[in-house]
Each structure stands twice: as structure tokens, then as C-alpha cells.
Amino acid sequence: GKSCGAEDGYVKMFLRGRPVPMYVPDALVATYSLDTKLELPPKKLKLDWVYGYRGRDCRANLFLLPTGEIVYFVAAVAVLYSVEEQRQRHYLGHNDDIKCLAVHPDMVTIATGQVAGTSKDGKPLLPHVRVWDSVSLNTLHVLGLGAFDRAVSCVGFSKSNGGGLLCAVDESNEHVLSVWDWQKEQKIADVKCSNESVLAATFHPTEPTLLITCGKSHLYFWSLDKGSLSKRQGIFEKHEKPKYVLCVAFTENGDVVTGDSGGNLYIWGKGGNRISQAVLGAHEGGVFGLCVLRNGTIVSGGGKDRRVVLWGRDYQKLQENEVPESFGPVRTITEGKDDTLFVGTTRNSVLQGSLATGFSSLVQGHTEELWGLATHPSLDQFLTCGQDRQVHLWSVATRRPLWSKAIEDAARSAGFHPNGSVLAVGTVTGRYGGGAPCGSAQLLLSVPPDGSYLAVGSHDNFVYVYGVSEDGRKYSRVGKCSGHSSFITHLDWAADSSCFVTNSGDYEILYWDPTTCRQIPNAGAVRNLEWATASCVLGFGVFGIWPEGADGTDINAVCRSHDGKLLASADDFGKVHLFSYPCCQPRVSASPVERRRSAAARPAQPLCSAGRAPRSHPLAAPGHESPLAPRLGRGNPPAGYHRAARPTAGTWAASSRRPLREERVRAPRKHTQLAPGPPSPRSRAGPQPAGRGKISRS
């Protein structure tokens, strides 16, 4: 519930039964009312660019369309990328991660299958297949709601008889193979495929009732007859049966070609289930991808050896090239114009090139969860880092990394010095660059507008403060701020750099003097301050972002635009919301948003930061392998948010990739558990009410 009384000048919100008092500025105390309705923001978010590709654990998911676009997916977004025009379009019909993709023989209709998830209100999001038009981006059909278990991992259209059938494999224990009349949205047949993983399912190009599946310990030839599926197993005879059959392709005459974990290519005569020809040791390590070219030759892509090899119709090697080591093994190959090939890799890159000239990066992404995101204070650049121990500095203009750097430890946070020439990266192991040791893994890094300090929020409940000199290249420890009873989650500096405010894992809001590292207990000293940024998720100017019934962990990040008129939030359910700022009324309406990904129960959730690009791009990192760039309208949004988690830091020259300094810090102390206990006396809270996400005015 809520009660009003302006005498004391603060609003109280309850999260998990804990009161969170927030001070109303003196200028608003007389007129402020919880019942005032805020207007929707004048701007809306539209997804502009997705950085990354999902090749680490997905296969056969890169195709060239007649429009000249390549189509692939990452998170819950299917990306249609025109390389020539440097433009992306996005299919946003899914509400959780996409796992597979297929293109219809008409080269316009596309099918994508997704994983199961959980909605914002706790209801299950069922795995299903969506069939959509790649020109209009309209959804045509939705298949299998309630029919699939866990995820749809393979999908494929029939290639003859008009492409009227669709096959799919789910990730249940039996990996059920099903066949659908996708235009009628009716299932024709299903069968338990294998107790082991299934890596591919595809129709034969000329035999309308023949399907092939492959995976761990199996290659099956399936016949569809009057609503039932019967199988014949591939017979390896004198050849050693591979542990995995990894990929399947078809030659012009209808032969089946398989690549396996032993590095072999086997050719299976049309209509049969026995090997007619073998290319043993075609690759060192597995054969991850096969592509039959328009001229009838075939290209194979290797795992361990990263080679792309062209084979003649007689399976004699004609040409080869190697993917650069930094991009990882080949995952999938598709043919472009002329002799161009597009190659997806297991390190989540898409490469473009040819066997004659080699391959260069077209799309890059992180390979594990993305945790740190920061925007350059003056240039159209932003930095990302994460669990994969990679740091990328990106150009907003080219949408590609200006440089990439491998570091020793998984990263958790990042931040730029206000002069833009130095950046800091926090990691998980307790190593910090540019200062004396901190007590535990650092969760966030923040520098005030005047660049005079570096505040490091830590998992041991302390904030470590360092004096900064020589344009961000010299650091000296000032002290540590002790007062929180849980780990530090967010931090903002005052516009005049005189103090900073912190949020913690148990929903405390505390204010600090950086010169003494002592808490500022007097509300009168801070309630009227202007803040350089708004990255704290708890505070009077932002509390309206919290939905009714929020449990305190739903909102992961918040960021204010540079003009101070807009506020973006990133939540646990893969959504970025846009509000007017200040957002100081309960349950404020947000501008309609597009779902990027439902990330419930994922350890790394969306980050949010506003850039300085001319079109004013807020950035969101969905805790997956790729940052997203929604586009605002005009305007100038703000300083970077640095995702709270458990880090260390290295300080880097932003232009050179060279570390300026690194130091080891002590091992983490006992971590405070987040639990709805009695309020800390520091929060000056009253008794706990029942319920969650309630707001009252005192």
C-alpha cells in the first residue's frame, strides 16, 4: 500500500519486505504526490544493430538470401545483414533464445526454433517454431506450442513438392523428430529419434519422403509413409563408426555426404544406407560444416585444423585456406556471390572471403557471457568485456572492433576515465590495475566527472577509493568505505564530484565522502545534489522503473540520457524499457519495447549504457554473447554503466591495448548472503510490511 505525508520529505519503497527510503528534493517536497501520472517518453526504442552471432553451440545457421542479406541469429533475434549496404533488419518474434534456422526453397520463407523460458509473471514460455517472411518480417505460422520439450534444436523444410513439409527435433530425452504441414500448422508424424544428441535433421532434396538425422553415435535414414516414420541406420561396415556424425549435405546426383568427428567425409549412394566412397582424414579433428557449391564442388570446414577445403566432384582436394586462429574453428559455411564464402565460427564470428584470398571478420561477438559495458566519454566508441576474457573496443560507425585484447581473467566491469584515453577493466580474481590491493573481487568501477578518483565497488561489501592523477595513469589508495551489509551493485557520482551514492545487494542506499571514505548520514547534505549519472537502480529519480511485485533483482541496470530527459532500464526478462526522467512516480508506464531475449534464470543479465553517437544509441548487453544497440531519436545519451558482479581490474590505454598497471588483490572474504532479514540501522527503516514492491510516502 501507500500512505502520504509530506512532512518528512521522503518516499519509501519496499523490496522483499525491506523498506528503502528515498529523499525528495526540497524543491519538490511541497508539491510532490505519489498519484501524479507521468507521460510516456517522447521517444521510442528501435533495435538498430546486433553485435555477434551464435556459432559456439549451434550449427547450420548462416545463409545467403536473394536480397543479398545473410541471415543468422543470436539471442532471441534473427538478423538479416546486408553487407553491401551495412544495414541490419531484425525478426523479433521470439520470446527466448533461438537455437536453429532453416530457409525454405523459395528463399523467402524462414523457420526458426527456440528454447523454453519463463515469462515476467513466472509462466512458462513454450519452445516452438516460427515461420516468417524474410521480406516483410511478418510471422506466417507458429508451430508446436506444447508439442516440444526444452528446445527446438533442429529444423528443416522439405525441398521438393513445393516445400510444404517441415521437420523439427526437440531436446527431450528421446530427441523427438516430428514432421509438420507448416501451412496448416498440423503435425503429420513424430518418432523418438535418439537418446543421444541430434545435431542435424534435413529432408533429401529430391526424395520427398526421405529425411536424414545425425548426431552422437548415429546416422539415420527416415522414410515418411502415411503418418509414420521408419528408420534405417547408416552402416559403416569396414570403417570405424565415428563418435559423432556432425553434418550432412547432398550432391547434385542425390548422394549424401557426411562429415564426422574423426575428420572423415563419407559418401552414401542415393537411396542407400551404405558408404560408397570415403575421404579419410579430410580434416584434423572434426568436420564441422559442409556446403555444396553451385558448380557441384563441395567445401568442408574443419574444427581443430580450422581449414576450409574445396573438393572436386571426384573428392580430390582442389584448394584450401585456413581461418585465422583468433576466430576459432569453422562451424558452418554458405556460398555467396561469385567465389565468395561466408563462414560462421565457434568463436561467434562470421567471416567473409574466398579460398584464394583468405577470410576476414564481418561479424564478431563474445563467446561467453558479457558482463562489462562502457561508452567512451567523447567518441563514438564503446567497450565490452566478459567471461571469455576478451576486451573489445568497438566503433559505433563501423560496428566492428577497433581492437581486441585477451586478458588473463574473466572480466566483470569496465569504465573510462573522463579524458577518454584510459580505461579500467575489472575481473573476477582480485587483480586491480592502477592502485593498491582491494579486499575482494570488484563489482564495478566508476570515475567522477573531474577524474580525480576511482571508486571500486567490491563483493566484500566495501567501496575502495583511489586518488587519480597524471590524466588517469597514476593511482594512490585513499581508503575504503565501510557501511554496507551486502555487496555493492551500483554507484553514481555527484555532478560536482564531491560525493557518491551506492546501492547494495540488500537494497541499501548510502552516500559517501570520497576524501574521508566516510558515510554521509545527513539527508539534508545530499537530497538536493545533482548527479552526473543515473546508474543506481534505487533512488528518488528512478524508483518508478520498478514494476508492481518486483523482488529486488528484476532490474539489473539503468541509464540516463545526456540531455537528462530519458531513462533506460534493463531487466531480468531480456527487455530494455524507456522512461521519461525523472521517473519518480510508482509503476510508471514505459515506451513500448521490443523483446531481445528472455533471460530468466541466467546468471548474467542485461546491462545498459548510453552512448554519444549522433543518433543517440543506448546500448544493452543481454548477458549473452552480444551487445545490442537500440536507436533512440535525436539527443545525446550518457556515461557508461558497469555491470555489477565480481571483478578485478586492469587499467589500459584506450588507444593502445597496453596495460598501464596490474596488481593482485587478496582473496574474497566471506560473502554476505542476500536475504530478506531485518533492515540495517543505516537505512533508518521502520517496520517491515508484508508484500513486495510496495511504495509509501512519508
Instruction: Tell me what pLDDT residue 592 has.
Output: 55
Contacts of residue 293, Cβ cutoff 8 Å, sequence gap at least 6: 299, 335
How large is the average pLDDT for residues 63-71?
98
DSSP state of 611: -
* Helix/strand/coil percent split, the chain, to 5: 5, 45, 55
- pLDDT tens readout for residues 199-214: 999 999 999 999 999 9
Neighbours of 137 (CB within 10 A): 15
- pLDDT tens readout for residues 510-534: 999 999 999 999 878 899 999 999 9
Is the confidence at residue 551, as pLDDT, over 90?
A: no
Contacts of residue 272, Cβ cutoff 8 Å, sequence gap at least 6: none
- Mean pLDDT, the chain, integer: 85
- pLDDT tens readout for residues 464-508: 999 999 888 888 999 999 999 999 999 999 999 999 999 999 999
Is the confidence at residue 666, as pLDDT, over 60?
A: no
Could you give phi then psi for residue 161, rounded to 5 degrees?
55, 35
Instruction: Tell me what pLDDT residue 547 has.
Output: 86
Q: Identify whether the C-beta of residue 290 lies closer than 8 Å to the C-beta of residue 315.
A: no
Q: In the numeric block, which cell numbers belong to residue 9?
A: 520529505
Is the confidence at residue 550, as pLDDT, over 90?
A: no
Contacts of residue 585, Cβ cutoff 8 Å, sequence gap at least 6: 34, 36, 37, 38, 544
CA atoms within 13 A on the CB side of 191: 19
How large is the average pLDDT for residues 10-17?
88
Residue 548: exposure state from Cβ atoms within 10 A (0-12, 13-18, ≥19)? exposed
Is the confidence at residue 591, as pLDDT, over 90?
A: no
User: Could you give all domains of the chain from N- to C-terminal order, each with its CATH number?
Assistant: 10-45+367-683 (2.130.10.10)
Is the confidence at residue 243, as pLDDT, over 50?
A: yes
